[in-house]
Structure 1
Amino acid sequence: MTSTSSTPASASPASDIHWADPARQQAFGIWLAAQASRHGVQPDSLRSASADASFRRYFRLDAPTAPRGTLIIMDAPPEKEDCHPFVAVARLLEAGGVGVPHILEWDEAQGFMLLSDLGQHTFLATLEATDYDHGPASTNRALYMSAIDELVRLQAVPADSLPPYDDALLQRELDLLPEWYLTQLRGLTLDDATRTMLAQTFALIKAEALAQPTGFVHRDYHSRNLMADPADPKARLGVIDFQDAVRGPLTYDLVSLLRDAYVIWDEDIQLDYAVRFWEKARKAGLPVADDFGDYWRQFEWMGLQRHLKVLGIFARLALRDGKRQYLDDIPRVWTYAHRVASRYQGLGPLARLLEQAEAAHGGTQTQVGYTF
């Protein structure tokens, strides 16, 4: 792709970076030139770093005086992205000693931000480099133990200033399942009995979540939002994409890590890491359950809420936003949700509905219902 207009010669972004709005491109060029004089960045080295599921995108550019020799720019149009939560949470986590990007500059009005660079390798990419299906178990274990240590550090950060993960938010997330996954993606028509069943099931799930001990919740603590050093799997990880943090159930982030939408592990491995986290959390004084069996049950129910939500989110990203690649990750998420729904009393009808949704994949399904 090529740029749609030019920027000042002193701050010309790479030609393969697309700008839909020429005025924003010009404003970016002017802002970038100012960063060159203040932080020693080299505008001609600008290249794409990553994009995410929102309207934010990230660039990397050389900065010889920076610790890694590079810095990151976030481009977040203010009319589409509110950067205030990102800034507030970044400062909160940094004060708590968590490895997050340091904010060097923030143009609040225009939505441009200059950040320290946590590296180019995600936790997921580092696992893939070691071949996580057949590769060195010691490397994988070191990476997960680093992630667990960082999570304990994160959950020790005071969460009083964060919005609560309350009934209303849990419900909005669960509603994504029927709205996007069941009906729009899988083509099911839900009758009144099915909707009643879902309402009753969601009430059970919310009650379980709201009864759990609470603290700092990242909400997306998984392999694509952790930055790792392939040369040293024991090194501390960088944490990104934390702007949606809330005060809520402390099991949530461990679910995100161990039942990741992009990596699936046998349950004995999940249990092993969960025990290790639980032990470290207790030692750190975090308010986790005194009995690991109770903690594991909380972990499973919280995971069910997350995975039902993610099924809806991935369907929405594919259908509404054209990000079809997320469809490839649905089978893992479905497996997690179905296993828990099949395991606990009161969740059987949900498990059968999930089965029917996948049976309808590629076929025709016009009506599903349950009687009580």
Structure 2
Amino acid sequence: MIPPAEAPAFLGQAGWGNAAIVPLAGDASFRRYFRVIDGGRRAVLMDAPPPHEDPRPFISIAEHLIAHDFAAPQILARDLEQGLVLIEDFGDLRVKEHLDAQPDTELAVYARAIDLLADLHRLPAADVPAYDRAVYQREVGLLREWYCPAIGLAVDTDAYVRAWDAVLPFVEQSASPIVTVLRDYHAENIMLIDRASSHGLGLLDFQDALAGHPAYDLVSLLQDARRDVPPSTEAAMLAHYRAVASPPADFEAAYAVLGAQRNAKIIGIFTRLWKRDDKPRYLSYLPRMWGLLERDLAHPALAPVADWFAANIPADKRHNGLAEFVPA
């Protein structure tokens, strides 16, 4: 986590020339984050190096969210050629760590996160690409492309595509509106901030937003890849969403399909992070992801996909299929 060589000059031009640069975080992409400290001022430096990353979508969605009174970080300075963006610092209190320390607040905090989504879903979608069939299929294909070879399985690719084609109409033909889908809306990307607007929640990591079904971000929040959300909490929050957003009757089936779609994608991504990017720590999340995927596959709407999994990936090749490679 050494700051990019261009950072001091960039910060100097932005009026932060005397600031200290302290490592803050990296993530599953090429992006890195640093805290910039100058006396009593703090900001966050995003390093999104081209050609691997493009900060423009983050800036565009941040500005869209801010314009509608959601708490996305203010953009303080930018250098798109270098991939450097100076943004507002929301502090250190992520929802995940808060709930680790105060688990009795889980329902209250999640209810606020649900209320935020309901507010977002009342708005027209941002000017972003559609979450369409091609994207859904490309994403679920990651499980077949990365996980299956990693455990030595040759699977029926054509049947996999057909199975998803059979269930995706539950999402595509839904009566729900097309909304802005943040795509990584979960406890590690939501900050607790001292602000009356946006339910006191700060939003991060939304640069991959697309226009799609409102159930997707609920899945991201309530079937969290990195945190165990009790089924009772998931059920309570879905009931809360139904109370505040009044989704159509087909919402439950779409939620199950998008749950299976997202969880299959993440199994593939986390395997790729190990195989391609030498980040084996993500393998420790796979048992949770398989458990979530199997719960979604139990929904009647997922029968074609569930049949494919039953025929192609035996139970003993799922939850702990890569356990021997997980770091101690």
> When the two structures are superposed, what TM-score results if normalisation uses the length of structure 1?
0.79
- Counterpart of 1:8 in structure 2 is none
CA distance in 2, matches of 1:337, 1:143: 25
- Counterpart of 2:151 in structure 1 is 186
Please give the secondary structure, in 2, of the residue aligned with 1:46: strand
Q: Partner letter of residue 124 of structure 2?
A: P
Q: Is the 8 A contact 1:217 1:245 kept in 2?
A: yes
- Counterpart of 1:312 in structure 2 is 268
- Counterpart of 1:361 in structure 2 is 321
Structure 2 residues not aligned, in runs of 5+: 324-328
- Percent of aligned positions that are identical: 32
Q: Partner letter of residue 295 of structure 1?
A: F
- Counterpart of 2:28 in structure 1 is 53
Structure 1 residue 358, shift from structure 2 partner: 2.0
Q: Partner letter of residue 299 of structure 2?
A: R
Moved more, 345-354 or 110-119: 345-354
Alignment of 1:190-339 (within 5 A): 190=155, 194-212=156-174, 213=176, 214-228=178-192, 236-282=200-246, 288-289=247-248, 291=249, 294-339=250-295
Q: What per-residue deviation string (whole Å, max 9, x for no partner) do you get for residues 261-286 of structure 1?
A: 1122332321110110122123xxxx
Alignment of 1:125-164 (within 5 A): 125-130=97-102, 135-136=103-104, 139-164=105-130
- Counterpart of 1:32 in structure 2 is 11
Structure 1 residue 297, shift from structure 2 partner: 2.1
CA distance in 2, matches of 1:125, 1:260: 14
Q: Is the 8 A contact 1:41 1:62 kept in 2?
A: no
CA distance in 2, matches of 1:356, 1:299: 27
Please give the secondary structure, in 2, of the residue aligned with 1:32: helix
Q: What per-residue deviation string (whole Å, max 9, x for no partner) do you get for residues 195-249 of structure 1?
A: 233122111232222123221100111111111259x9x9611100101101101
Q: Partner letter of residue 125 of structure 2?
A: A
Please give the secondary structure, in 1, of the residue aligned with 2:142: helix
- Counterpart of 2:135 in structure 1 is 169
Please give the secondary structure, in 2, of the residue aligned with 1:72: strand
Structure 1 residue 160, shift from structure 2 partner: 4.9
1:73 corresponds, among 38, 45, 59, to: 45
CA distance in 2, matches of 1:51, 1:149: 29
Please give the secondary structure, in 2, of the residue aligned with 1:315: helix
CA 362–334 in structure 1, closer or farther in 2 if over 3 Å, else same: closer
Q: What per-residue deviation string (whole Å, max 9, x for no partner) do you get for residues 55-74 of structure 1?
A: 11111122456xxx411111
Q: Partner letter of residue 28 of structure 1?
A: A
Structure 1 residue 123 and structure 2 residue 95: aligned? Answer: yes
CA distance in 1, matches of 2:17, 2:192: 24
Q: Is the 8 A contact 1:208 1:298 kept in 2?
A: yes
Structure 1 residue 18 and structure 2 residue 2: aligned? Answer: yes
CA distance in 1, matches of 2:239, 2:36: 41
- Counterpart of 1:94 in structure 2 is 66
| Structure number with larger C-alpha Rg | 1
How much is the aligned-residue C-alpha RMSD, in angstroms?
Answer: 2.3
Please give the secondary structure, in 2, of the residue aligned with 1:61: strand
Structure 1 residue 348 and structure 2 residue 312: aligned? Answer: no
Please give the secondary structure, in 1, of the residue aligned with 2:200: coil
